């Protein structure tokens, strides 16, 4: 399932599915809804993807495969461990910002063990991305830069959770921080919020002076 062949019709279905999943939720969206908005026969969705879960799995791969590649490339960069962690955070924030809908569905709606087990690709992707995070942090530990007692599996949820708390309270923070336009809001995420998350993760990783 890691490599799916996509044609224009499949991509159209995936784009419609992402929009509906982000607006109505995974459970609140039916195959019939997707076929109606994509203006295609309901049988075609089933023919291409089989089930709603398989469609979501294809959507995950379509939207997040480049994240996996970026993390793998980061592993081989010849830079200091803390710089790698900072770049890792920038990569995550950028990918989530570009794919808010699917990430919200993945991290806040799919809490059912039954659904999680059916999304083999999502589980594999999380494991592979965690391996990249582990490798980067262990490089820092081997150099004596990072603490040995870091709970590595909690690093990614700390990054993603901070971002989503900010985003789910968008109107509150827009008013609080005088972010009067969408451009100002997005720029704040790229600069101040990203820097805050980097400082938070650094505090977790680096020995106190």
- pLDDT tens figures, 118-174: 677 777 888 888 999 999 999 999 999 999 999 999 999 999 889 989 998 999 999
What pLDDT score was predicted for residue 102?
A: 75
What pLDDT score was predicted for residue 50?
A: 87
Query: Taking the chain (209 residues) in consecutive chunks of 10 residues, what is each chunk's mean pLDDT?
Result: 65 90 86 92 89 86 84 93 96 86 69 64 83 94 94 94 91 96 95 97 88
pTM as predicted:
0.81
What pLDDT score was predicted for residue 16?
A: 93
What pLDDT score was predicted for residue 1?
A: 42
What string of DSSP letters covers the chain?
A: --S----HHHHHHHHHHHHHHHHH-STT--HHHHHHHHTS-HHHHHHHHSSHHHHHHHHHHHHHHHHHHHHHHHHT--S-HHHHHHHHHHHHHHHHHHTHHHHHIIIII---HHHHHH-HHHHHHHHHHHHHHHHHHHHHHHTT-B-TT--GGGHHHHHHHHHHHHHHTHHHHHHHTT--SHHHHHHHIIIIIHHHHHHHHHHHHBPP-
What pLDDT score was predicted for residue 195?
A: 98
């Amino acid at each position: 399932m890691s490599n799916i062949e996509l044609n224009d019709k499949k991509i159209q279905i995936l784009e419609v599915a992402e929009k509906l999943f982000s607006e109505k939720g995974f459970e609140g969206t039916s195959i019939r809804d997707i076929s109606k908005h994509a203006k295609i026969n309901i049988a075609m969705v089933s023919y291409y993807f089989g089930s709603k879960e398989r469609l979501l799995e294809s959507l995950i791969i379509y939207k997040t495969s480049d994240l996996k590649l970026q993390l793998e490339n980061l592993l081989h960069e010849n830079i200091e461990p803390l710089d790698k962690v900072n770049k890792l955070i920038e990569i995550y924030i950028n990918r989530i910002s570009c794919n808010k809908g699917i990430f919200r569905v993945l991290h806040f709606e799919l809490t059912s063990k039954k659904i999680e087990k059916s999304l083999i690709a999502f589980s594999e992707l999380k494991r592979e991305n965690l391996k990249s995070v582990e490798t980067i942090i262990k490089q820092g530990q081997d150099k004596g830069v990072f603490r040995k007692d870091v709970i590595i599996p909690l690093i990614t949820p700390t990054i993603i959770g901070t971002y989503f708390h900010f985003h789910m309270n968008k109107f509150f923070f827009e008013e609080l921080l005088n972010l009067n336009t969408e451009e100002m809001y997005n720029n704040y995420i790229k600069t101040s919020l990203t820097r805050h998350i980097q400082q938070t993760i650094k505090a977790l990783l680096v020995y106190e002076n």
